[in-house]
Amino acid sequence: MQLETFAKALADQTRLRILLLLTGQEELCVCELTQALELAQPKISRHLAILRESGLLLDRKSGLWVYYRLHPELPQWAQDVLGNLQAGSFNETLFQSDSQRLKGAVRQNVVCCG
Protein backbone atom coordinates (compact mmCIF):
# COMPACT_ATOMS: atom_id res chain seq x y z
CA MET A 1 0.00 0.00 0.00
CA GLN A 2 1.47 3.28 -1.10
CA LEU A 3 0.84 6.35 1.03
CA GLU A 4 -0.39 8.38 -1.96
CA THR A 5 -2.96 5.71 -2.92
CA PHE A 6 -4.16 5.53 0.66
CA ALA A 7 -4.42 9.31 0.99
CA LYS A 8 -6.35 9.63 -2.28
CA ALA A 9 -8.84 7.03 -1.07
CA LEU A 10 -9.43 9.01 2.11
CA ALA A 11 -9.75 12.32 0.26
CA ASP A 12 -13.33 11.64 -0.86
CA GLN A 13 -16.07 11.99 1.77
CA THR A 14 -18.09 8.99 0.54
CA ARG A 15 -15.04 6.72 0.53
CA LEU A 16 -14.04 7.97 3.96
CA ARG A 17 -17.53 7.24 5.29
CA ILE A 18 -17.40 3.73 3.81
CA LEU A 19 -13.98 3.05 5.33
CA LEU A 20 -15.06 4.33 8.74
CA LEU A 21 -18.11 2.06 8.71
CA LEU A 22 -15.99 -0.94 7.73
CA THR A 23 -13.33 -0.24 10.36
CA GLY A 24 -14.03 -2.63 13.20
CA GLN A 25 -16.61 -4.61 11.20
CA GLU A 26 -16.05 -8.08 9.82
CA GLU A 27 -17.79 -7.14 6.57
CA LEU A 28 -20.74 -5.19 5.23
CA CYS A 29 -23.01 -5.75 2.26
CA VAL A 30 -23.59 -3.04 -0.32
CA CYS A 31 -27.22 -2.83 0.83
CA GLU A 32 -26.10 -2.20 4.42
CA LEU A 33 -23.84 0.61 3.24
CA THR A 34 -26.66 2.05 1.13
CA GLN A 35 -28.92 2.09 4.18
CA ALA A 36 -26.29 3.61 6.47
CA LEU A 37 -25.07 6.29 4.07
CA GLU A 38 -28.46 7.11 2.56
CA LEU A 39 -26.91 7.20 -0.91
CA ALA A 40 -27.84 5.49 -4.16
CA GLN A 41 -26.43 2.01 -4.70
CA PRO A 42 -24.64 2.92 -7.98
CA LYS A 43 -22.76 5.75 -6.25
CA ILE A 44 -21.69 3.51 -3.37
CA SER A 45 -20.70 0.71 -5.76
CA ARG A 46 -18.54 3.10 -7.78
CA HIS A 47 -16.67 4.17 -4.64
CA LEU A 48 -16.36 0.56 -3.44
CA ALA A 49 -14.76 -0.33 -6.77
CA ILE A 50 -12.20 2.46 -6.33
CA LEU A 51 -11.40 1.25 -2.81
CA ARG A 52 -11.10 -2.35 -4.00
CA GLU A 53 -8.86 -1.40 -6.92
CA SER A 54 -6.64 0.65 -4.60
CA GLY A 55 -6.11 -2.39 -2.38
CA LEU A 56 -7.97 -1.16 0.69
CA LEU A 57 -10.93 -3.55 0.40
CA LEU A 58 -11.67 -7.13 -0.53
CA ASP A 59 -15.04 -8.33 -1.70
CA ARG A 60 -16.87 -11.62 -1.81
CA LYS A 61 -20.05 -12.54 -3.58
CA SER A 62 -22.73 -14.61 -1.88
CA GLY A 63 -25.77 -15.21 -4.06
CA LEU A 64 -27.06 -11.81 -5.16
CA TRP A 65 -25.12 -9.87 -2.54
CA VAL A 66 -21.57 -8.53 -2.50
CA TYR A 67 -19.84 -8.11 0.85
CA TYR A 68 -16.86 -5.86 1.49
CA ARG A 69 -14.23 -5.84 4.21
CA LEU A 70 -10.97 -4.07 4.89
CA HIS A 71 -8.07 -5.86 3.25
CA PRO A 72 -6.56 -8.06 5.97
CA GLU A 73 -3.04 -7.33 4.72
CA LEU A 74 -3.27 -3.55 5.10
CA PRO A 75 -0.02 -2.30 6.61
CA GLN A 76 -0.18 -1.58 10.32
CA TRP A 77 0.29 2.15 9.71
CA ALA A 78 -2.84 2.18 7.49
CA GLN A 79 -4.84 0.25 10.10
CA ASP A 80 -3.66 2.71 12.74
CA VAL A 81 -4.72 5.70 10.63
CA LEU A 82 -8.19 4.20 10.06
CA GLY A 83 -8.55 3.41 13.75
CA ASN A 84 -7.57 6.95 14.71
CA LEU A 85 -9.93 8.44 12.13
CA GLN A 86 -12.75 6.28 13.44
CA ALA A 87 -12.02 7.38 17.02
CA GLY A 88 -11.99 11.02 15.87
CA SER A 89 -15.25 10.59 13.97
CA PHE A 90 -17.25 9.96 17.16
CA ASN A 91 -17.61 13.73 17.59
CA GLU A 92 -18.70 14.32 13.99
CA THR A 93 -22.44 14.38 13.37
CA LEU A 94 -22.28 12.91 9.86
CA PHE A 95 -20.25 9.88 10.92
CA GLN A 96 -22.33 9.38 14.08
CA SER A 97 -25.47 9.37 11.93
CA ASP A 98 -23.98 6.81 9.52
CA SER A 99 -23.14 4.50 12.39
CA GLN A 100 -26.55 4.90 14.03
CA ARG A 101 -28.39 4.20 10.77
CA LEU A 102 -26.30 1.07 10.24
CA LYS A 103 -27.01 -0.16 13.78
CA GLY A 104 -30.71 0.66 13.43
CA ALA A 105 -31.05 -1.09 10.07
CA VAL A 106 -29.34 -4.24 11.34
CA ARG A 107 -31.34 -4.21 14.59
CA GLN A 108 -34.63 -3.87 12.68
CA ASN A 109 -33.65 -6.31 9.91
CA VAL A 110 -34.34 -3.53 7.40
CA VAL A 111 -31.35 -4.38 5.25
CA CYS A 112 -31.89 -6.52 2.19
CA CYS A 113 -29.17 -9.09 2.76
CA GLY A 114 -29.61 -9.79 6.47
Domains, the chain:
3-87 (1.10.10.10)
Plot region of 72 (φ>0 → left; ψ -120 to 50 → alpha; else → beta): alpha
pLDDT tens-digit series, residues 79-101: 999 999 999 988 899 999 999 89
- The percent of residues in the chain predicted with pLDDT above 90, rounded, is 68
pTM of this prediction? 0.88
pLDDT tens-digit series, residues 3-52: 999 999 999 999 999 999 999 789 998 989 999 999 999 999 999 999 99
The answer to whether 35 touches 110, Cβ cutoff 8 Å, is yes
